[in-house]
């Protein structure tokens, strides 16, 4: 059975002049500045539009708070210990689940990548388990582990383990065979070749896996909070607020903060990628 790998298309930034080769040399800075300016204008335009839509009541149900109101409330929420506690819970559980998946997927992926026999034995089972929607197992996890951290972390781990596993296997399989032969020509043992050649080659694929799974982990954690009926976490907090009269302002402000949180997490992982996988991305534009 062929393993298909979940891969993220390489990130592209918007500053690539596509005109002649000659414009590339100096135009980078100017384009970058313009991109930032246009981006700021676009965002501002969106906020103004939002405000107008709300002020003039252009929505069918007039219960969306305006942009200014929402942003002010968002800033207020950042100083609200109760809210921060819920956000902290979501982040902590997501990373716990991701960590569990990592600890399982990396050794297993190396084993399945290196050993043909292990791969032949396990690949069908992996292919059968991988498409299972992790969210389907929330009720079972609630029965076994309750509605708290353990249940949510287990669901996150279940969803994150497959992208990590397939990416590690893919990374090992993609190891340059010339590099492996070079290692062997130095008289290195099998384990030394694995440590010095195979593992470093697999790291960029692993980081790609992490890039995919950080977003998945947050999504699954919030999903598990709802479905599992958890009382802790951003999702639970939002659901509670939405049931209160005039709760919409808090909900919208919370969503804005959730987006900012997502952007931050993505930026951290993109930084990791630049630090540890730059060599493998050299061919990508």
Partner 1 sequence: MTEALLVVDGLRHVYQTEEGEHVVLDGLSLTVNRGEFVSIVGPSGCGKTTLLRALSGLLKPTSGTVSLAGEAINGVPKGLAMVFQDYRGSLFPWRKVGANVEFPLLGRVGAEERRNRVRESLEAVGLENFAGRYPWQLSGGMQQRVAIARAIAMRPQLMLMDEPFASVDAQTRSDLEDLVLRVRELYDMTILFVTHDVDESVYLSDRVLSLSKSPTVLTADTAVPLPVPRDQIRSRENPVFVSTRSEIAQLIRRAKPAGLYGPGEAIPTTSNFAVPVLR
Partner 2 sequence: MRRMKLTSPGVRAALGWAVAVVLILAWQLAAVTGESLFFPPPTEILAAGYQLWFSAGLENGVLTDAFHVDVVPSLERLVIGVLIAVAVGVSLGVLLGRVRVVAQFVEPLLHFMRALPGPVLLPMALVLLGTGNEMRIALITFGAIWPVLFNTYSAVRQVPESYLDTATVSRRTSASTLFRVILPSASAGIFAGIRTATGLGIILLVASELVASSDGIGFGLMQSQRSFQFLEMWAFIVALSILGYITTLLLSALERLFLRWHHLYKAVVA
Site for partner 1 in 11-40 (CB under 8 A): 19-20, 22-23, 25-27, 29-30
Of the ranges 40-48, 106-114, 176-184, 193-201, which one interacts with partner 2 (CB under 8 A)? 40-48
Closer of 26 and 245 to partner 1 (Cβ) = 26
Of the ranges 78-86, 175-183, 194-202, 262-270, which one interacts with partner 2 (CB under 8 A)? 262-270
Determine if 35 is a binding residue for partner 2 (CB under 8 A): yes
Closer of 21 and 243 to partner 1 (Cβ) = 21
Contact indicator for 186, 133 with CB cutoff of 8 Å: no
Residue 23 Cβ vs partner 1, minimum distance, rounded to whole Å:
6
Closer of 7 and 149 to partner 2 (Cβ) = 7
Contact indicator for 38, 198 with CB cutoff of 8 Å: no
Contact indicator for 119, 113 with CB cutoff of 8 Å: yes
Q: Scan residues 213-252 and list those touching partner 2 (CB under 8 A).
A: 215, 218-223, 226-227, 234-235, 238-239, 241-242, 247-248, 251-252
Using CA atoms, how far apart are residues 163 and 236, in angstroms rounded to an integer? 27
Handedness of CA 59, 60, 62, 64 (dihedral sign): negative
| Alpha helix positions (H), the chain | 21-55, 67-77, 81-114, 116-129, 138-145, 149-173, 177-185, 190-193, 199-227, 234-242, 248-277
**Between the CA atoms of 81, 86, 87 and 90, what dihedral angle is there, to the nearest 10 degrees?**
150
Q: Scan residues 92-121 and list those touching partner 2 (CB under 8 A).
A: 116-117, 120-121
Residue 147 Cβ vs partner 2, minimum distance, rounded to whole Å:
12
- Binding footprint of partner 1 on the chain (CB under 8 A): 19-20, 22-23, 25-27, 29-30
């Amino acid at each position: 059975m062929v393993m298909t790998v979940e891969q993220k298309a390489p990130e592209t930034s918007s500053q690539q002049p596509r005109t002649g080769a000659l414009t590339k040399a100096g135009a980078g800075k100017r384009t970058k500045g313009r991109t930032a300016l246009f981006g700021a204008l676009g965002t501002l335009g969106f906020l103004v539009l939002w405000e107008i839509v709300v002020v003039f009541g252009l929505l069918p149900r007039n219960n969306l708070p305006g942009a200014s109101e929402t942003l002010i409330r968002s800033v207020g929420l950042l100083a609200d210990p109760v809210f921060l506690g819920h956000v902290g819970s979501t982040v902590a559980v997501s990373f716990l689940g991701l960590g569990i998946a990592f600890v399982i997927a990396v050794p297993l992926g190396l084993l399945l990548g290196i050993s043909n026999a292990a791969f032949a034995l396990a690949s069908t089972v992996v292919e059968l388990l991988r498409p299972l929607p992790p969210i389907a197992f929330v009720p079972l996890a609630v029965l076994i582990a309750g509605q708290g951290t353990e249940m949510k972390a287990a669901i996150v781990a279940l969803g994150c383990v497959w992208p990590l596993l397939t990416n590690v296997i893919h990374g090992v399989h993609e190891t340059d065979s010339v590099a492996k032969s070079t290692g062997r020509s130095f008289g290195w043992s099998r384990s030394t070749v694995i440590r010095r050649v195979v593992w470093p080659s697999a790291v960029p694929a692993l980081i790609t896996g992490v890039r995919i799974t950080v977003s998945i982990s947050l999504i699954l954690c919030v999903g598990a909070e709802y479905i599992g009926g958890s009382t802790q976490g951003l999702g639970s907090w939002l659901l509670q607020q939405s049931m209160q009269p005039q709760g919409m302002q808090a909900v919208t402000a919370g969503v804005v903060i959730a987006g900012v949180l997502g952007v931050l997490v993505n930026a951290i992982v993109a930084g990791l990628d630049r630090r540890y996988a730059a060599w493998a991305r050299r061919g990508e534009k």
